[in-house]
């Protein structure tokens, strides 16, 4: 009984205190202290960077067509023509006008004749004072009946001496050719001349070998 009385008394006291606390506001303060405060948090995003628009491209210069203003052409008024007065003045001196001499006629150009070529005199071996001997007839050629014509080309110096010689036309026999060649080299000659001046020249000497 005592325990139940104590419990009942405690319950009554608790209710009395609770009512007193409600009236005085102490219970509300205790509830506010017990109930945890709600923490409100908000994520603040940083402001996005402002994208500045690209500056517009400058407009292309427009070529303006230049119109040429035609320059007005001023019409030139025709000037009056002066008419020569053929009437002589009363005080003008009179006289006789002498005729002017005619201009001399220009002489026709004279065509110059081309200069005449210089005269050329070929060497010679026929002068009597040269006393050139006849070419010897090779004995073997006589026995064999060899004969023919040999033409020897010889270079004559300005002193009339044969400088070199060569067979230009063969007789067909070597013995006759060599006899003619050696004979021509021993001969004396009149030198060739050009415009009267001695000059070294080639000269052809014919030699005939004929059996009699």
Question: How confident is the model over 111-133, as pLDDT tens digits?
Answer: 677 777 888 888 888 877 788 98
- Token pair belonging to 70: 């035609």
User: Phi and psi dihedrals of 67, rounded to 5?
Assistant: -95, 125
Given a cut of 90, whether residue 173 has pLDDT beyond it is yes
How many other C-beta atoms are found inside a 10 Å radius of the C-beta of residue 65? Answer: 5
Q: Is the pLDDT of residue 75 over 80?
A: no
Confidence check: pLDDT of 26 > 70: no
pLDDT at 146: 94
Which residue segments constitute the domains of the chain, with CATH numbers given?
Answer: 2-34 (no CATH), 120-209 (3.30.2420.10)
Q: What is the DSSP letter of 130?
A: G
Asked whether 137 and 179 are in contact (CB, 8 A), the reply is yes
pLDDT of residue 34: 45
Which distant-in-sequence residues (6+ apart) come within 8 Å of 148 by Cβ? 171, 172, 173, 176, 208, 209
Question: Averaged over 190-209, what is the pLDDT?
Answer: 92
CA end-to-end span of the chain: 213
pLDDT tens figures, 33-63: 444 444 444 445 555 556 566 666 656 655 5
* High-pLDDT (> 70) share of the chain, %: 58
Q: Which of 206, 119, 116, 122 is nearest to 170 (CA)?
A: 206
**Mean confidence (pLDDT) of the chain:** 74
Of 49-58, 60-69, 166-175, 177-186, which gets the smallest average pLDDT?
A: 60-69
Q: Compute the 3-state secondary structure of the chain and give helix, strand, coil in percent, each to the nearest 5.
A: 25, 20, 55
For the beta sheet containing 201-209, the strands, ordered from the edge strand earlier in sequence to the opposite edge, are 162-169, 148-156, 201-209
pTM over 0.75: no
Q: Which residue is it, tokens 């009267």? A: 196
Paired tokens of 169: 């036309």
Of 31 and 11, the structure prediction assigns the larger pLDDT to 11
For 136-164, how does the pLDDT look when each residue is reduced to its tens digit (9 = 90+)? 999 999 999 999 999 999 999 999 999 99
Q: Tell me the Ramachandran region of residue 90: left when phi exceeds 0, alpha when psi lies from -120 to 50, beta otherwise.
A: alpha
Query: In which element (H, E) is residue 151 found?
Result: strand 148-156
């Amino acid at each position: 009984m005592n325990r139940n009385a104590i419990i009942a008394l405690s319950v009554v006291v608790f209710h009395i205190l609770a009512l007193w606390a409600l009236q005085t506001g102490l219970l509300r303060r205790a509830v506010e202290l017990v109930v945890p405060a709600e923490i409100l948090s908000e994520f603040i995003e940083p402001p996005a960077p402002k994208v500045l628009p690209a500056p517009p491209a400058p407009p292309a210069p427009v070529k303006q067509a230049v119109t040429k203003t035609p320059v007005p052409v001023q019409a030139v008024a025709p000037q009056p023509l002066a008419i020569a007065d053929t009437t002589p003045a009363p005080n003008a001196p009179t006289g006789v006008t002498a005729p002017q001499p005619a201009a001399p006629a220009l002489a026709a150009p004279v065509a110059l004749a081309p200069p005449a070529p210089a005269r050329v005199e070929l060497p010679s071996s026929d002068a009597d004072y040269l006393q050139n001997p006849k070419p010897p007839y090779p004995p073997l050629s006589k026995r064999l009946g060899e004969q023919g014509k040999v033409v020897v080309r010889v270079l004559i110096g300005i002193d009339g001496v044969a400088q070199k010689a060569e067979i230009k036309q063969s007789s067909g026999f070597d013995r006759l050719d060599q006899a003619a060649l050696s004979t021509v080299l021993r001969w004396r000659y009149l030198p060739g001349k050009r415009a009267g001046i001695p000059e070294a020249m080639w000269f052809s000497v014919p030699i005939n070998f004929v059996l009699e």
